Amino acid sequence: MGNIGAEYSNTRHNIGFKVLDALAKASNISFVDSRYGSVVELKHKGRIYVLLKPSTYMNLSGKAVNYWMQKENIPLENVFVIVDDLALPIGAIRIRQNGSDGGHNGLKSINEVLGTNAYARLRFGIGSDFSKGRQVDYVLGEWTEEEEKILPERIVKAGEAIVSFGTIGVERTMNFFNSK
């Protein structure tokens, strides 16, 4: 998940877009603007992954996710959402089969539109180095120079988790990536 527009492109809140962009680039494929988002199909080991960067902004992500699930006939158990998480240190990856929105408006939107929170998600840590009352500024702020140094390797790892989810399933992917 993320927000469209140049002003958001390098913000912590856009880590989902950053992960998908890196995966697409590594796979030599490009996103195409379409209804409710930019989309590309990634083919790997006989499977097709529909990568979606919603254009609905974070707070309405559910609309885009639901539309593409219906359009591509994607069952809920094959949905994998990439989301920023303040509760995790920068670059930490935690995969869950389901869960609450944890105060994240993008997940809240998906939960409301789908009527469930029973979909897999990869939580990418963005840290919480902000003073009281400055959470929004932090989340919508750009990565620091120090943070930028660790991001490339962690973004690649998150891309590997996406591919793993589609090939070996959520439980085995959790076992492999949550232990690192």
How do residues 15-32 score in pLDDT, each as one tens digit? 999 999 999 999 999 999
Terminal CA-CA length for the chain: 23
Helix axes 61-72, 105-114, angle to 10 degrees: 50
Query: Measured between alpha carbons, how far is 97 from 95 in angstroms, rounded to an integer?
Result: 7
Out of 1, 2, 12, 13, the active site residue is 13
What's 6-177's CATH class? alpha beta
CA dihedral 99, 103, 104, 108 (to 10 degrees): 70
pLDDT of residue 180: 55
Is residue 13 annotated as a catalytic residue, yes or no? yes
Query: Measured between alpha carbons, how far is 114 from 99 in angstroms, rounded to an integer?
Result: 13
pLDDT of residue 35: 95
Question: For the chain, what is the radius of gyration of the CA atoms?
Answer: 15
- Domain coordinates of the chain in residue numbers? 6-177
pTM for the complete prediction? 0.92
pLDDT of residue 94: 96
52, containing H or E segment: strand 47-54
pLDDT of residue 179: 63
- Which ranges of the chain have pLDDT less than 70? 179-180
Query: Measured between alpha carbons, how far is 93 from 74 in angstroms, rounded to an integer?
Result: 24
| Beta bridge pairs of residue 84 | 124
- With H, G, I as helix, E, B as strand and everything else as coil, classify residue 180: coil
